Amino acid sequence: MKKFLFYPMMSLIFIMSHFLMSCNQDSFIVSVESGNGIRGVVRDTSGKALKDVKVFCLFYSYTIPVNLSISAVIERLSNREDFAFNLEQNFPNPFSNSTFLRFSLPTKAFVNLELIDKINNEIVYEFSDSLQAGYYQHYLRNIVDSLQLKNGAYLYTLNALVANDTNYSDTKELFIISNKSAPNSITNVHGQYEFNYNQIFEGDSVVVKFANNYTYTINLTNMVNILFEKEGYEPKIIPSTLYPNFVLDHDVVLIGER
């Protein structure tokens, strides 16, 4: 019996030691109980619990991408008729508030673009129009802020229907990393926050694209970065490694702005 208990106990000890060694003025405690993710209490330097602290999961990134600011919504970049049906990777990706969707049509078609929340499979944005052959870009301007989308993965789909009932469809994934989004969690009157492990998209691949032609891929793991923000306090980013079937208790101290 002792032999079978040895390896699970060693794994638990390893996880606990990993987090305890990373402590500074914040605290990490591993709780073995029903649930997933991370939770804790946010306080100021006097020990007072802070209500309404916004908690954003930045996933693999420590930084928030710069937001684009232009006015165009749908724009025909070329009226050539030798394009094939194609849906490109959005850029920039990931993005903080605005992004471009580019696609091409070889003939006139009725086009429908949908942006879908990957967690709950809900359509959060839709655009439809009848378009001539050509190369197009659709600019999703301030879509994160205006729709209060949460950080994470979304699917975008292009459906194009032509007169002969030919239907083209393609789907790609885009990723939001922002502090203009709806927070992944907000502290309550006791300063408590919680973030669920099941929302970290472990195993997904993010196609990073900041220019027209250059892309590279990052595979998401269980390592995330969590941003805590409250007006009047300095923002704080906490790196964390989350595990299924473990709840990490992580209390955070925010310092008032000078």
Considering the segment(s) 74-176 as one domain, its CATH architecture is Sandwich (2.60)
Q: What pLDDT was estimated at residue 83? A: 81
Residue 151 is classified by DSSP as S
Q: Would you list the domain boundaries of the chain?
A: 2-55+183-199+229-254, 74-176
Q: What pLDDT was estimated at residue 8? A: 46
The tens digit of pLDDT for each residue in 12-70 reads: 444 444 444 444 456 655 454 556 899 999 999 999 999 999 999 998 888 898 887 76
Predicted TM-score (pTM) of the model is: 0.82
Other beta carbons within 10 Å of 17: 11
Q: What pLDDT was estimated at residue 2? A: 45
Q: What pLDDT was estimated at residue 163? A: 82
User: 245's torsion region: left (phi>0), alpha (psi -120 to 50) or beta?
Assistant: left
Q: What pLDDT was estimated at residue 169? A: 95
Please give the Cα distance from 156 to 99 (Å, whole number).
Answer: 12
**3-state DSSP call for residue 30?**
strand
Are 190 and 65 contacting, i.e. CB atoms less than 8 angstroms apart?
no
Please give the Cα distance from 170 to 132 (Å, whole number).
Answer: 19
Residue type, 87: L
Please give the Cα distance from 126 to 116 (Å, whole number).
Answer: 9
Note down pLDDT in tens along the chain; length 258 residues: 444 444 444 444 444 444 444 444 566 554 545 568 999 999 999 999 999 999 999 988 888 988 877 666 777 777 776 789 999 999 999 999 999 999 999 999 999 999 999 989 999 999 999 999 999 999 999 999 999 999 999 999 999 999 877 789 999 999 999 999 999 999 999 999 999 888 889 999 999 998 767 889 999 999 999 999 999 999 999 999 998 888 889 999 999 998
Q: What pLDDT was estimated at residue 11? A: 46
Q: What pLDDT was estimated at residue 76? A: 76
Q: Which residue has the tokens 């300063």?
A: 191
Q: What pLDDT was estimated at residue 67? A: 83
